[in-house]
Structure 1
Amino acid sequence: MDTDRFADAPPVELPSHRAIENLIARYYELLDTGDFAGLSDLVADASVTLDSGPPLDGRDAVERLVHDTLVLYDDGTPRTRHVASNLVVEVDEAAGSAQSSSYVTVFQALPDFPLQVVASGRCRDRFERRDAGWRFTERWIRTDLLGDVSHHLRGPAG
C-alpha cells in the first residue's frame, strides 16, 4: 500500500468530541509510559484536583506530584495501564468549551505482582478550544475504590 500519497494531504480536523476523547487517552498514555514532562505540558493550563486535595496549577506542581506520589520502576514507568470508560463528552461549539465525565480503572503488574486492578475512580474535566485546539482547563479525579496500591503509590496509601 502506498502511504506516501497521503503525505501532502491537508490535516483533517477531528470533530470536537473526538479531539477531547484523544486528550483524555493521551493523558493516560503519557502517565503509563512515564512521560511526566509531556503529561505536565498537556495539563499546563489546567487546575488538577485529586480527591479532596488542593488544586494543582501549572506544569511544575503536576510533575512534582507525580514524582512524589508514584512508585517508578527501572524503565521509568509506574508499570500501570489506565483505562478510561463510560466517557460522556458535552461540547458547546459556540462557546468553545466542553466538559466530560468518565471512569478510570488502573491496572498494574510486576514480575512478583500479578496483573490486577489497583484503583478505580471518576474524572470530571473541562476544556477550552484555543488556537492550537482543545486544552484541559480543569481535571478532577476522585478515587472510589482501592486495591493493593503498595507497588503503585508512595506514602500512607501505598
Structure 2
Amino acid sequence: MKNKISDERAIENLMVAYAFANDDADIARLGELFKDATFWIDQMSAKGKEEISAVATSMIQVLENGRSATTHEITNIIIEIAQDGLSASAQAYWTLYKTVSGEPRTAVMSGRYSDKFTFGKDNWHFLERKASVLWQLEKP
C-alpha cells in the first residue's frame, strides 16, 4: 500500500541517487536512473539510457581513485505527488563542487532541478530532469 510520506521519500532517494552515481562516476547507474527519461541541462538534452550514458561519459572527469572530480549537493527539496498517486514533480537547488589536485574543494556551479516522476512496477522513476544553471564560477 502506497502512502504520501513513503512516496516522497522514494522520490527524494532517486534525486540523491543521481548525485551519488554522478560523484561515483557510475555511468551504468546514471543510465539506469534515466532509462526512460529525458535529462536537460539548460538547452542540451539526452533521452534514454544510451544517450544519457554517452553524455555522462563525455562530461564526468574521473580521478585516479575511480571517482568523479565532483561532489553534488542537493538542498531545499519540494515534492508534490499528484492526486492519482502515479505522477509527481519536484524542485530542488543543487551545488556542484569540484576537486582539483592540490587545491581545496571549490563550489563551481549551482542551479535548480525541476523533475517529473512516474510510478510503475512498484517503483518511482525519473520521467524528466531539467537542470538550470543559476550561478557559475568565473574562471580568471
TM value normalised by structure 2: 0.89
Q: What's the CA shift for 1:60?
A: 1.1
The structure with the larger Rg is: 1
Q: What's the CA shift for 1:17?
A: 0.6
Q: What's the CA shift for 1:58?
A: 1.0
Gaps of 5+ in 2: none
Q: How many residues align?
A: 136
Q: What's the CA shift for 1:141?
A: 0.6
Query: 1:35-94 deviations in whole A, cap 9, x for unaligned?
Result: 1101110111101111112x3111111111111123222222222210101110000141
Q: Is the 8 A contact 2:25 2:60 kept in 1?
A: no
Q: Which residue of 2 aligns with 1:76?
A: 66
1:31 equivalent in alignment to 2:22: yes
Q: How do 1:1-16 and structure 2 match up within 5 A?
A: 15-16=6-7
CA distance, structure 2, for counterparts of residue 132 and residue 37 of structure 1: 22
Gaps of 5+ in 1: 1-13, 150-158
CA distance, structure 1, for counterparts of residue 119 and residue 111 of structure 2: 26
- Kindly, what percent of the aligned residue pairs are identical? 27
TM value normalised by structure 1: 0.79
Supply the RMSD in Å over aligned alpha carbons: 1.8
Q: Residues 123, 17 of structure 1: CA spacing in aligned structure 2 closer, same or farther, 3 A cutoff?
A: same
Query: 1:125-155 deviations in whole A, cap 9, x for unaligned?
Result: 0000001310000011111111268xxxxxx
Q: What's the CA shift for 1:96?
A: 0.5
SS at match of 2:25: coil
Runs ≥4 residues deviating over 3 A: none
